[in-house]
A and B are shown apart, each in its own frame.
Chain A
Amino acid sequence: MPSVERARELATRAVGMTRADQAEVVVTAESNALTRFASNRINQNVAEENLSVSVRAVIGTRVGVASTNRLDDSSLAACCEAAVSAARVAPADPAFPGLPAPRPFVMAEPAAPVSWFDAPARARAVKAIVETSASAGLIAAGKIEVSERVAAIANSLGVNVGMPVTEISATVLSMNESGSGWASHLGRDPEELDPAALGAQAARLALRSQGPIDVPAGEYQVVLAPEAVADILDFIGYAGFSAKAFSEGRSFMSNRLGARVVSDLITIVDNATSPHSLGLAFDYEGMPKQRVTLIDGGVAVGPVTDSYWAARLGTANTGHALPAPNQWGPMALDLEILPGDSTMDELIGGVEHGVYVTRFHYVNVEDPIPMTLTGMTRDGTFLIEDGKVTSPLKNLRFTQSAIEALASCSGVGEHRRFVSIEDGKVLVPGLRLDRFSFTGQTA
């Protein structure tokens, strides 16, 4: 694993080797280890080391990209030349504004050391997780992952940034034939992971989920735990907050800036600038990420941008570029829903007859503008009666506009959690939504 300085040197060297009008190089080094368990034993245990260099060459407004993980001089030179060759052939793009000029960026502090959290330490943590389930006659499955990454970005206009990112994540599914429970952890410091407590949390939920009953399909009041909220926010962020989708009329915010789109209890920001953020503080063009308010008290404010889409829309570059080449446009990778003032008991206490959802499974978009999603509940779905969680329920399928659901929000939790999603992580509270359609259930 190279140091940040070494990665920045490599990026700068590759910029110098790229014979184009402009050049940008992204260096990504990673050291990942993942211990996976199932049936109360470690079933997979892997580690990898990699380092890749991606070169974006610009000739006029023609752009080409090439990448490699071979770092000998001739391979690196061939990669730079491949990017230049592609740029020579690419059609001119009159809308391409050129690579961005450097902006002030404060280098991050070194991450907490994680080398001690090696394979034997992870195995001991798995043992602690598994024991709580095994002692209750349950089966545990999940993972513990340690990810160390260094990213460095340089361009021929003087951008030269780098930072390390460390992430510790753990998931636990505890189950038997009659029910299952779930717990997860995401943070930067392995010292913050309490495996026994995590295992116990999943096992408790599994025991409480035994003997689920049926409820008819229909519209219910729901309380979504943070993990379930994360599943919803993941898709809103992916399909709704990019300047590209917004500009093309494919986002729920298209043509609706300044309008109230969801409940005034909901404020959504993208915020890589806070001390607790787990992601990169700059984007893949080396621009410092800005804190962007996307929805303010229910009102649509605007999408995130990168250098290309900021120029096209005539707005500020918010620093949300993905690695080039990028077909998806800028992306909000550090989403937060701001906290409310309700405890989880208060959220549940406000429901006369409804459903509590721990998490969802396999959510997908059916219709992008109303953001109609479908998916299943999983690992802890309960009936709420007269303000109290009562019977466990069989897993339910929902088919629901996420925007309409958030418009019916009547309570926001005061406590938030980081949750891993497919393309990053989100910081979210629990929510109470007054209208949520379940359209089927598992047998």
Chain B
Amino acid sequence: MREIIEAAVEAARLSGAEYADARVVDSSHEEIHVASGRVEAIERSDSFGIGVRVLYQGAWGFAAARDVGTASAAEVARRAVAIAKASALVTGRPVILAPESPATGVWNGPCEIDPFLVPLEEKLSLLTAADEALRAETAVTVTSVHCGFHREHKWFGSSEGAFVEQSFVESGAGIEAYAVSGDEVVTRSYPTSHGGGWRQAGWEYVTGLDLAGNAPRVAAQAAELLTAPECENAVVDLVIDGSQVALQVHESIGHPTELDRVLGEEAAFAGTSWVDIGDIGSLRYGSEHVTVTADSTIPGSLGSFGWDDEGVPAQRDHLIRNGVLTGLLTSRETAPAIGRTSNACMRADGWNRIPLVRMTTVSLEPGTWDFDDLVADTDEGLYIETNNSWSIDDRRLNFQFGCEVGWEIKGGELGRMVRMPNYTGMTPSFWASCDAICSADHWQVWGLPNCGKGEPLQVAHVAHGAAPARFRGVRVGVGR
């Protein structure tokens, strides 16, 4: 593979590029889906190709093709340079990459049991058992049970002398129960919604989720939700479970701290950010309890790698320390705007996409509270679990999230269940209202395999460490 990548880089150089890198990506995906007693999908897909990124007179060009060989790689590189020459017709300040030592080496993610070698019968048996357990609850009329596996093997080389080889396996699974009655549809999911749980791991992760063992509880809660009252419009003290805190971090801290967004590079599609580059070191993002890191070294996280997709080594960096903004998610192109080098956040969705500034594992660091103590300390409030819907404005300020289920807190105890609670707020005041975060015992890394960004659209696999947390004075029951 080195020969092919070197052919691409050399062809780009001969065509006039001052910088070039090439990535070959070989990926496989398997998806099995059982719904309402029927196997809806057994699918295996493979994709293989090369992408070449070049700088010509400080302007970018990128081309990609599925033919992977020395001659075709050189042709792709020449096409990328031709595109970069067109970019140079409408250019501003030339792109200058932050310095980086050329990376070399091999990195492999953790995987105990290769899921692609596990017999299909075994996978179907696990899913069918979970589906049957969900359907044992008569109020549950629609079910969805799935597992999925992704394997990626990629090679990266650059005109600066970098050459790295990386591979990893991701495994995921989840269950959903829908209870439908008249004009009411309610959902309950495990381990979380929107694709279930995901890790860089093998089949052992899926069996460890115990889908069938959790199905009766999930189905019973779905049934109970059908007759549960709606969450009333009120301002309450809100305790949020770890999975929803993870999504809250994703939308209102992860995205607005992407430096390309801050610089306006994503303005037309995903939007900009309420954060400015001058805010580093001074902006109070949240309360003193809020410390957030970006870490691409956590074993088993979807946000981990050896090097990012421009060859910068994995690392841990602070975005927020005790409530104050201290850093941003960066790339070699953007980092100089804040006087730093890249903290390794450039990630591409396959061979046919350019790397963009993406989240790695962006985590709300754990606090000190035990969950039971946190509820007991909340006199009047609401505890909510599992995301149902999400929306945030183009500067990542005004958000509104819905969850599958909530329980009223009265006198420090969980009480009546409420259906589909939503809550809304503004990013800085919401994080300023965070007065308690549960301890490391309640903290886990939540894989999020569906983060969309960029044009053409890219879907990144990212992650967030989070524990349940409490927020004071939050508006819930919007529109009710």
Contacts and interface: CB of A to CB of B under 8 A. Distances in A.
Contacts of A32: 456
B90 interface: yes
Given A248-B141, A364-B391, A399-B400, A93 B39 contact: yes
B63 A46 contact: yes
B456 A46 contact: yes
Nearest to A439: B478
Contacts of A326: 40-41
Contact of B120 (A38, A46, A89, A93): A89
A40 B60 contact: no
A47 interface: yes
B139 interface: no
B83 A397 contact: no
B394 A47 contact: no
A47 B268 contact: no
Nearest to A50: B66
Contacts of B180: 248-250
Contacts of A65: 41-44
A-B CB proximity, top 10 nearest: A325-B41, A399-B479, A119-B86, A41-B92, A141-B268, A173-B268, A141-B267, A249-B180, A376-B393, A48-B64
Nearest to A46: B62
A361 B266 CA distance: 14
A41 B89 CA distance: 9
A47 B62 CA distance: 6
A227 interface: no
B463 to A, nearest CB: 21
Interface in A392-443: 395, 397, 399-400, 437, 439-443
A172 B393 contact: no
* Chain B interface residue bracket vs A: 35 or more
Interface in B341-363: 352-354
Given A49-B66, A69-B46, A90-B39, A248 B265 contact: no
Contacts of A139: 264, 267
A86 B116 CA distance: 13
B65 interface: yes
B389 A366 contact: yes
A366 B40 contact: no
Given A65-B42, A172-B268, A41 B184 contact: no
Given A70-B46, A145-B455, A378 B83 contact: no
B59 interface: yes
Interface in A284-314: none
Contact of A44 (B49, B60, B119): B60
**Mostly helix, strand, loop or mixed at chain A's interface?**
strand
Interface stretch (A102-110, A122-130, A160-168, A343-351): A122-130
Interface residues of A, number: 92
B424 A46 contact: no
Interface in B48-101: 48-49, 51, 59-66, 79-80, 82-87, 89-92
A36 interface: yes
A114 interface: no
Interface string A131-161: 0000000010111010000000000000000
Contacts of A127: 89-90
A322 to B, nearest CB: 11
B60 A43 contact: yes
Contacts of B174: none
18 contacts: A36-B455, A39-B263, A39-B264, A42-B89, A45-B83, A46-B353, A68-B45, A69-B46, A91-B124, A119-B86, A141-B264, A326-B40, A327-B33, A366-B422, A397-B398, A399-B400, A442-B393, A443-B398
B268 A38 contact: yes
B258 to A, nearest CB: 13
B62 A45 contact: yes
A378 B393 CA distance: 8
Contacts of B354: 44, 46
Contacts of B66: 49-51, 69-70
B148 to A, nearest CB: 11
